[in-house]
Structures are given as C-alpha cells and as structure tokens.
Structure 1
Amino acid sequence: MCEEKNGLIHSMLILLFISNSCFYAHCQQITLEDVLSRQSLNETSTFGDPARLDHALVNGTVPLKRVPRNVPATNCWPKAPFALLRAATGCPGGGAWGTGEVRHRLRAASSVSQQNLLSAQITKEAVTLEFCVRDPPADTSDEPVDYDCSHVNADFPPGSYCIFNAQQKFNIYERCPPGFNWSAVGLDDIGTVNRRTRGRMPTGEFFDTFTHYYFCCRNDSAPSNHMVLPTKRPFILFPLGVHRACQEVVGLRARMFSIYMDADHGSYVNHPNRFCSPFAETDSVIEGVGPCAREKRGKGLQLHMCHYSLW
C-alpha cells in the first residue's frame, strides 16, 4: 500500500512539474492518466526505461507530446504511399512522415516565386527540393507525430489536384491510389552532384544527368468544390494543367506559386490523359501521334503549386 501511495505521489509531482514547465514553454498539456500510464509515454518518446524517462521529464530533455488515440479520419492523411513537396513550415502532420531531398544541378536562372512558402535551397548552381513521404510507420517518423493515425483508414477526397507518387510497384498503372491517374515530369540536369538524393523520396528515376518524377492526379470534381483534408499545418498540392486553379480545401487559404527549374538540355511533361496532369509549363510543345504524342518539351520547367494554410 505504501509503495502504491508513494508511486502516486511521485507521478503527481512529475505532473505538477510538467504542467508548470508547459505553462512557460507553451507546450502541449499532459494529464495524470498519461503520467501513470508509462506505456503511453514510452510509445511517444525514445526513452524505454521508466527511470530514464522520469529523469528526462524532470530535466526537460525530452519534449512531451500527447498522441490522441481516438482520432477522426478528417485529422489524418490517407495511409496510401504518396509524397508532397515540403512546405517551409515542415510536413503537414496528420500522421507519420518521412523526409528526404533531391539535388538538381541546373543553370543560373532557377527561381521560386514565393520562397517563404517552400522548403527548398536555390542557388546559382543547384536546386535542392525537400519532400514529405507518407509511408513510414509511426515509430520511424522523421517529423513530430501529432496524431496516432495508424488505425485510421482515411481516403483521398474527389477533386482536381496532384500528389507525388511514392508507391514502388513495377507496373506504373498500379502505383497511384484509387481514383488517381499517373503522370510524369522530367528534366535534364547539368551533371553529377555530390549526395544527389538523401532520405525518402517520391517515385522516380534519379540519374546523374536526368530526373524523372511520377505524379498521381485526379480530376473527378471541380476545383471550386471544397474538399476536406487535415488542416493543422500547411501543405502543398499541385493544380491540374487543364484547370490552372487551386483545389479548394475547407477551412484553408490556397495560394498558387511556382518554381522555375532552368534545365540543361530539356524538360517534359508526359501523361496518358491530358485532363490528369500537373500544371507544368515548358518552352515548347510537341503535338501529334507517335512516340512524342501528349508530350510537352522545352528547356526550362515551370512547375506550379498550391500552398494551403490557415492564414
């Protein structure tokens, strides 16, 4: 009985300390139930030993976070493997995300219209794009996990938008989630760069002098028809070339911007369905039948994006 009482007092003291610390640090609050349930804390931190966990809590060396167990599907992104360009504020939450980057060595004219919206590095010699990939399990996420979405079966809503493909399947027609069609964008890089890729990336081919990205696009609802996606943190989607307008999302403001990648010899947009491809522009267009049908080729690539946020 005395041991149980001492354990409860110990847990209450830890809770009091955490609550006071959170008041000044503006961190998320945690309840006595969470402190008593060592298992729930261990699941959301890297401290498996209770003694190490208590020491970390008291000394403030681990940021506490509470991961709600019963989460509405609207708070979670779909489980299907896909990827997004990383917004300047990070990955969008709503589950576990992996991160990675691809470095392109390009000509000096590369630029982005609104640098503060996109997490990318642009110099006179190279463009490094950063990605959020929605395929790792929760315990290996590279980003903070705000919700436990491992048991939530959310689906992508109808609309007019594109995402990056992240499904590693041999048949290209089977790589996209249900309701999407594949598309592709490619560009020529100038030459080999050190550490061309790092971490997790969307599906594609990343050669020394050429890059090929696969997209998944859908066009089963007008972009003016609002759809529901998680709204806790900003994220980036791609508009369709046929509409050239951002898909509306409930509760969020959409802002269109673009990145221009000054390719070495050429770039292209390829799609089996011209109504389901991202809004991307090149310097010239090839029309007609044959192996170049439905392709747009040019030297530079202008890729348009939509940034979504609460403000």
Structure 2
Amino acid sequence: MLKPSSGCPVDVAENWLEGYRKEYGKGTYNYSTPLDLFGEFTEEYMKFFFCVHKSVKNSSLIPRYQTYWEPGRYCIIRSNGTCPNGFKSGYAQMDDSDNKVNLLQNGGILPDGYFANDTGLYFCCRDDGLVTNDIVLPRKNPFVLYMATGETKCQAVKGMTSSIQYLVFNDDKSGNRVITNGTLPTIKIENNNTMLFLCHYKPVECEITGCTDKDGEDVHPSSEHTKNCVTKNNVQYTVHFLTVVGCSVESKCKLVGEEWSVLRAEGCVRQVCQMQIVNNTEKFLVKDISQGCDWKGVCKPENSTWTDDENCVDYRCKKLTLGGGTVVRTETLSYGCKWNGKCKSADVAWSEDCLSRKCVVVVNETHVQRQVMSTVEGCQTVGSSDCHAIDSNWTETQNNSCTRLTCTQNGQALRTKVLERLCQDSEKKCHPVGASGFQAEIQGMVRTNCSCLAREAGVMVQCPG
C-alpha cells in the first residue's frame, strides 16, 4: 500500500518492507487537501513511499498480518506477483517526462509494477459485496485502500473512519504512453492527467461509553445520532455513516430539493438545497433561486400580491432594474375601508340594514382619505332586517291586527305609509273592515262568527257571546 503519513505498521516491523519512487511529469502535479501520505509532493515532482507486506512464515501471525480479505468493493496494490483469492488484476501506467528520465529514482522494496522510464502499478480489485457493509481489517494503524471502478464511496471498514483523497499524475504531453488494462480502481484520465483516488483510513477512538467519530461527535453504542444532516450509528464500537440527507442551515437540516426563505437587509431570497458530485464526492450546496420582498418577517416572492387585512391595503412585490442590476420593492396597489372587522374594496357597494354602502378612497401626494358612504335604499320593517323597495307594498301583523304598508319617497326622504288596517283571525289570516263570520282568538279562547269593525285608533274584532 502507499505509506500513510503516520508510517507503516510497527507491531511486527520485520513483516513490513519499505520502498519509494520519485517521478517527474510534464507540467504541474495536483493533490487533495489533506493528503495523508508520507513523501514529497510538489508541483514539479512526487516522491511516494510504499509499505510492502512480505510473506509470513510464523503461522501464529497469519490471522493477524495475512488478513483474509472479505467481500466488498475495493482495491489494493498487488505484490508478490498474484492477487489474493476473490480479486481481479489490473494495470495502470503513467507517462513520466522523457526530459527528466535521469531524475527518476527508486529505492527499497517496491510492489508489483514498472519503475523505469515510466511509472506503472498493478492493482487487485474486487466487486462482490456492498461498499456499505463493514469488512474486517487490522485497525490499530491507519492504512490506504482504493475505490472500485465507478464507486464514489470508500469501502466501510469496522472500527475505522475514511476520507477520499487523490493524486494527479501529470503525464508527458508528447507521445503519451498512458496504459490501462484489466480491473482497476477509480481512475480519471483526461487532458494528459491521471487522477488516482484513494481512501485513507484511521481508527475510531472508542471508550466504554461510546465512540468518537472523525467530527468529534460521541455516538453511544447501539444508538443513532443525527447532526448537520448526517445520521450515524454505533454498532460494536464502530461508527457508521448511514445517510447524508441534505444541507445544514442554522442547525436545521434541509432536504435535497427543499426550498425556504432567508431575510436579508435588502429584502429576502428564496433558497434551495442541491446535491452535486465534486471529485466523486457528494456535496450539498445552498443556492439562491429568486429574490423577494420582506413583509413583516415573511418573504413574499417577486410579482406576488397580498393584502394587509389590518389596514386594508393591497401590495405587490415588484422587480425593478436599477444601475444595471435588479432589485425588488414593495409597492402599494390599492386601498380599502375597514367595516365591521372586514376589508371592503374601493368603489364596491354592498347592502346592509336598508342602506347601500360604498368605500370611497381619495389618494393625493400627502395622504390617503378613506370613508364609507351610506345611501338609504328602502323602508325597513320595525323590529326586523327586512328591507322594502320604494313603491312596494307589504303586510305586517301584530296583536290580532294586520297593517298593509307601502314605501314612499319624498325628495331624498323615504317614509313608510299605512294603506289599510285589517283584522286577524285565529288562523293568522287578515280580513278587511266589515268582514264577518270568521273565527278569532279572544283572551285565549277561540270564538266563532266574529266581525271586523272600524275604530278611531284602528280596527277591532267583535264576537257574540
């Protein structure tokens, strides 16, 4: 494996041999930040070191240092000429600069590969398991694996946390001799550059009460913990990163595609959580999608309209072009009148208690005048909300008598006029003066053969007996 910055395993140092390769390309080298590898990594050249595991003769050490490789999706660097069972071999060769062959250097024990005028490495890869299923490897020291072809995540390893890092080999531009064949890890080749992705692992620090993950979060055994949109759990003192679900915004998690509003000094903006793939890693980013107007702490989208029910004013969020840019402003569309707790639009009439009412609004440069104007439109029945139009007739009953009325107009004044008074029988029917032979209720008793008589104050029902 490539030698981590922490060094090769040291428990049984004689089982690990070290070597190095110094190579020059035709241009500028690039590296991830951080890059947890031991060596020299400059823009002009890279000198990287290897930890090569030799064959173990002491059978008591085999279970520990000649690990049984479990199914998964990952790659290792080949040594001793063959791949372990379950792996397939592949080869990748970078084209070093022809002008700096005399500067290329090798030292120590190297893995399987080509280390002459160019640099080539043999890999062993497997694709027979899930990348999210833990495999067991020695976990006392940091180490390096590689992602299987097309993979964007590091293989889960029990008791370890991982980070994706990369090296960019700057290949010779003339007569490019980049060679790839077989089954390889995730490698990107473009613009005469070979980008090799690696997974750096380091042990999880565990205590009886729980584990501390790479972010410094304590996750108790057999529990789940969610912070900053990442859900983790701890099973047998191994912290697993279960899901990354979105963008962390003010200690709250916004799902991918979720939209929300943010207030700013110049108004407000509508934002959305988006997921992008950057260097084969999922990145969750907050993007502005539109401007808006701040209205009492609420973000109103541009071109939207709303009503201030407390003051009966209609507004619109309007987009303007100023100084080569765009801004949004809240503009007033119209005013209304408050009546019985509700807003009435200007110049819209409504009827109420025989009155026609209308909201009248006058706007000038200095102030806004609003008032409700009322016009009588009919005659109202006493003790009722019934309204009768001008020149209409109707009958009202009270105390065994009936009164026929009409609504008359004199100039702007309306008056209710009595047309006729009548007598009421026991069935609530009305009879004119002079009528007889009907039943009427007198002092709680129904009498027969009653008559309707005229009196100065009105009418009277008279029954024999």
| TM-score under structure 1 length normalisation | 0.58
* Higher helix proportion (structure 1 or 2): 1
User: What residue number does 1:177 align with?
Assistant: 84
* Distance in 1 between residues matched to 2:119 and 2:35, nearest whole Å: 25
Matched with 2:146 is: 238
2:212 maps to 1:299 = no
Quick check: 1:101 aligned with 2:101?
A: no
Residues 256-283 of structure 1, C-alpha deviations (whole Å, 9 max, x = no match): 01111111134646233xxx42011001
Letter in 2 for 1:126: Y
Give the structure 1 partner of residue 74 of structure 2: 161
Give the corresponding residue for 2:30: 111
Task: Report the CA distance between 1:119 and its aligned residue.
Answer: 1.2
Aligned CA distance change for structure 1 residues 93 and 221 (closer, same or farther; 3 Å): farther
Give distance in 2, aligned partners of 1:238 and 1:267.
23
Distance 1:254 1:308, change over 3 A: same
Counterpart residue identity of residue 122, structure 1: F
CA distance in 1: counterparts of 2:51 and 2:42, whole angstroms: 22
Whose strand fraction is larger, Structure 1's or Structure 2's?
Answer: 2
Q: Note if contact 1:255-1:308 (Cα within 8 Å) is conserved in structure 2.
A: yes
Question: Which residue of 2 is the match for residue 189 of structure 1?
Answer: 96
Give 2:122's aligned residue: 214
Distance 1:237 1:151, change over 3 A: closer
Q: Does the Cα contact within 8 Å between 2:35 and 2:165 map onto a contact in 1? A: no
Distance 1:236 1:299, change over 3 A: same
Q: Could you tell me how far apart the structure 2 residues matched to 1:198 and 1:247 are?
A: 31
Corresponding residue for 2:7? 90
What secondary structure is seen at the aligned counterpart in 2 of 1:192?
Answer: helix
Contact 2:25 2:96 in 1 (8 A): yes
The DSSP-based 3-state class of the residue aligned with 2:135 is coil
**1:194 CA drift (Å):** 4.2
Indicate the residue corresponding to 1:67 in structure 2: none
Q: Any gaps of 5 or more consecutive residues in structure 2?
A: 204-213, 215-465
Aligned match of 1:271: 181
> What secondary structure sits across from 1:237 in the alignment?
strand
- Determine the structure 2 residue equivalent to 1:282: 189
**Secondary structure of 1:230's match?**
coil
Distance in 2 between residues matched to 1:101 and 1:255, nearest whole Å: 23
List structure 1 segments (4+ residues) > 4 angstroms apart after TM superposition: 136-139, 150-153
The structural deviation recorded for 1:151 is 7.1
Distance 2:134 2:62 in 1: 26
1:115 and 1:267 map into 2 onto residues whose CA distance is 29
- CA displacement, residues 234-259 of structure 1 (integer Å, 9 cap, x when unaligned): 00100012222200001111100111
SS in 1 for 2:171: coil
| Identity in percent | 27
Alpha carbons 1:267, 1:299 under 8 Å: kept:
no
Does residue 135 in structure 1 map to residue 54 in structure 2?
yes
SS of alignment partner, residue 117 of structure 1: coil
- 1:135: how far off? 0.9
Q: Distance in 1 between matches of 2:104 and 2:55?
A: 22
What is the aligned partner in structure 2 of residue 126 from structure 1?
Answer: 45
User: For residues 151 and 244 of structure 1, what CA distance do their matches in structure 2 show?
Assistant: 30
User: Aligned equivalents of 1:193 and 1:244: distance in 2?
Assistant: 37
Contact 1:186–1:212 under 8 Å retained in 2: yes
Report if aligned partners of 1:204, 1:212 keep a CA contact under 8 Å in 2.
yes
For the 8 Å contact 1:160–1:220, the answer to whether it is kept is yes
The Cα shift of 1:136 comes to: 5.6
Separation in 1, partners of 2:169, 2:121: 14
Q: How many residues align?
A: 197
Q: Is the 8 A contact 1:239 1:247 kept in 2?
A: yes
Letter in 2 for 1:113: S
For residues 101-121 of structure 1, what are the alpha-carbon distances to aligned partners after superposition, in whole Å with 9 as ceiling and x for unaligned? Answer: 011111342021034411121
Q: Which amino acid aligns with 1:306?
A: C
CA spacing shift, 1:267–1:90, aligned 2, 3 Å: farther
The one-letter amino acid paired with 2:202 is S
2-structure distance, mates of 1:106, 1:122 = 12
Match of 2:320 in 1: none
- Equivalent-residue separation in structure 2 for 1:307 and 1:250 (angstroms): 14
- TM-score scaled by structure 2? 0.40
Cα distance between partner residues in 1 of 2:90 and 2:158: 26
In the alignment, which of 43, 46, 61 is matched to residue 149 of structure 1?
61
Between structure 1 and structure 2, the one with the greater Rg is 2
The one-letter amino acid paired with 1:199 is G
Q: Is the CA contact (8 Å cut-off) linking 1:158 and 1:219 kept in structure 2?
A: yes
Check conservation: 1:267, 1:282, Cα contact below 8 A.
no
Distance 2:179 2:148 in 1: 12
Note the aligned Cα RMSD (angstroms).
2.5
Aligned partner of residue 61 in structure 2, secondary structure: coil
Which residue does 1:56 correspond to in 2?
none
Alpha-carbon offset, residue 229 of structure 1: 0.6
